[in-house]
A and B are shown apart, each in its own frame.
Chain A
């Protein structure tokens, strides 16, 4: 019961703040709203019985990435976004059609979805680590880390004038 109430509260918070992120013209308010979205998502992960994912969501997105976003927005002192002149009706129609397709897909998924935890559901850290480092995901996992390392080295090489 209390889980259901909490779920609806955080789901409403996540959706509401997500709307603010795209509707807001002030970059810094968008960033604030995005932080609220990410924290609500983390709460939902926690409610679904995955504390590890919930905590990682906070550490990586709300705690690290959004701090960098805010840092850059404040440093550049980005103000209100100006309304662009001229109607681009072609783009608007395309956006409308794409949104319709997305809504149809989401509706189809929701209608077919079975709302019950998967059999043998175990989101403990131990189980996750075993899965992640099992032969099934090990290659993808290590490849991703090498990719991230390469991008870090690339960023340093680009930012530094003389190494």
Chain B
């Protein structure tokens, strides 16, 4: 029963954040480019996501004649399903007491939490790949192939960046990793494991295909990449998957590297409502960084992307693992 309530609550909260993100992203990007962005629907344009949703609902559903119909219809569902699966094991705040019971805003507290996230993100590649192949168009196929190669390459760096953090905490449980960073901001993994944090942030940006790593969409070359042929709500589902993945990556980054709900300064409280405040602020900061990057950077060339992933990020992550392992053995951290 409690689990069902948590599922509904967390899912509703994430969908709200997703809707607000689509608006916030357009407004912030506009400000960075000396424009105003959508500001007509509601105060400050905050009802823009609702207007977009209504528009997308009433658009015509197009399935290309030469497309593989069932795979074409399944692809957006797979995309959203894999994105939603990952949110189930993340903790969204400190444990708190309500109605005389101990609660934790987390659906399933898995002992292999970090590995589970890794498994689910590795399944996330199937959405774009199925979409790209089933649309039967060269742009979508190229987008799908790029997507699979890119996600596959950066997943390695992403997974390796977590190893040092796991070794320090001695646990795969995300809650344990957060608790290991209690104290001050100098205990955060973003400080202790700085190379891993940088690798994580870069690989995560690539994993969610955001600029400068949005090669699978690359509109200058591929129209819109793997979702060129999608319209109406099916297109919206790809967008939703992308934003949900972004939120997952931001929450995971906060939990693993930015100290979760800990305030970072010993004299500031980090329990109860304070913890939720710190947590939301950190996640918001990471999400803002994604938008900021999009407003700042151009896109990678494909060979640069692959070279950077394999020849820079992975060696850095491996060296970090070796150094951390040596430190753990020598100093018994």
Binding between chains A and B: yes
Interface residues of A (CB under 8 A from B): 28, 32, 35, 39, 42, 51-52, 55-56, 58-59, 62-64, 67-68, 70-71, 74-75, 124-125
Which of B111, B112, B144 neighbours the largest number of chain A CB atoms within 10 Å of its CB?
Answer: B112
CB neighbours of A35 from chain B (8 A): 126
Q: Is B149 interfacial (CB-CB < 8 Å)?
A: yes
Q: Is B77 interfacial (CB-CB < 8 Å)?
A: no
Residue of A nearest to B133 (CB): A74
* Cβ of A42 to closest chain B Cβ, rounded Å: 8
CB neighbours of A56 from chain B (8 A): 115, 119
Q: Is B129 interfacial (CB-CB < 8 Å)?
A: yes
* Cβ of A65 to closest chain B Cβ, rounded Å: 10
Interface residues of B in 255-291 (CB under 8 A from A): none
B144's contact among A52, A68, A74, by CB below 8 Å, is which?
A74
Number of residue pairs A-B, CB distance < 8 angstroms: 64
Beyond the given A58-B119, A59-B118, A67-B151, please list 10 additional residue pairs across the A-B interface where CB-CB is below 8 A.
Answer: A51-B116, A55-B112, A56-B115, A67-B125, A68-B152, A70-B129, A70-B133, A70-B148, A71-B145, A75-B145
> 25 A-B Cβ contacts within 8 A?
A32-B71, A35-B126, A39-B123, A51-B112, A51-B116, A55-B115, A55-B116, A55-B119, A59-B115, A59-B118, A62-B122, A62-B123, A63-B119, A63-B123, A63-B125, A64-B152, A67-B126, A67-B148, A67-B151, A67-B152, A70-B148, A71-B145, A71-B149, A74-B133, A124-B111
Contact A63 B122 (CB under 8 A): yes
CB neighbours of A52 from chain B (8 A): 112, 115
Contact B141 A51 (CB under 8 A): no
Expressed in whole angstroms, the Cα–Cα distance for A142 and B115 within the complex equals 22
Scoring B residues 120 to 136 as 1 if CB is less than 8 Å from chain A, else 0, what string do you get?
10110110010011000
Expressed in whole angstroms, the Cα–Cα distance for A75 and B133 within the complex equals 10
Scoring B residues 149 to 184 as 1 if CB is less than 8 Å from chain A, else 0, what string do you get?
101100100000000000000001000000000000
B123's contact among A58, A71, A124, A125, by CB below 8 Å, is which?
A58
Which of A51, A56, A124 neighbours the largest number of chain B CB atoms within 10 Å of its CB?
Answer: A51
Contact A125 B148 (CB under 8 A): no
Q: Is B325 interfacial (CB-CB < 8 Å)?
A: no
Q: Is B84 interfacial (CB-CB < 8 Å)?
A: no
A51's contact among B111, B123, B125, B133, by CB below 8 Å, is which?
B111
CB neighbours of A39 from chain B (8 A): 123
Q: List the 6 shortest-distance A-B pairs measured between CB atoms, nearest first.
A: A63-B122, A58-B119, A55-B115, A59-B119, A55-B119, A51-B112
Expressed in whole angstroms, the Cα–Cα distance for A32 and B123 within the complex equals 12
Q: Is B110 interfacial (CB-CB < 8 Å)?
A: yes
Which of B115, B151, B152 neighbours the largest number of chain A CB atoms within 10 Å of its CB?
Answer: B115
CB neighbours of B152 from chain A (8 A): 64, 67-68, 71
Expressed in whole angstroms, the Cα–Cα distance for A42 and B112 within the complex equals 14
Residue of A nearest to B71 (CB): A32
B133's contact among A28, A58, A59, by CB below 8 Å, is which?
A28
Expressed in whole angstroms, the Cα–Cα distance for A55 and B119 within the complex equals 6
Residue of A nearest to B151 (CB): A67
CB neighbours of A71 from chain B (8 A): 129, 145, 148-149, 152
Contact B122 A125 (CB under 8 A): no
CB neighbours of B115 from chain A (8 A): 52, 55-56, 59
Expressed in whole angstroms, the Cα–Cα distance for A48 and B276 within the complex equals 35
Contact A67 B129 (CB under 8 A): yes
CB neighbours of A70 from chain B (8 A): 126, 129, 133, 148
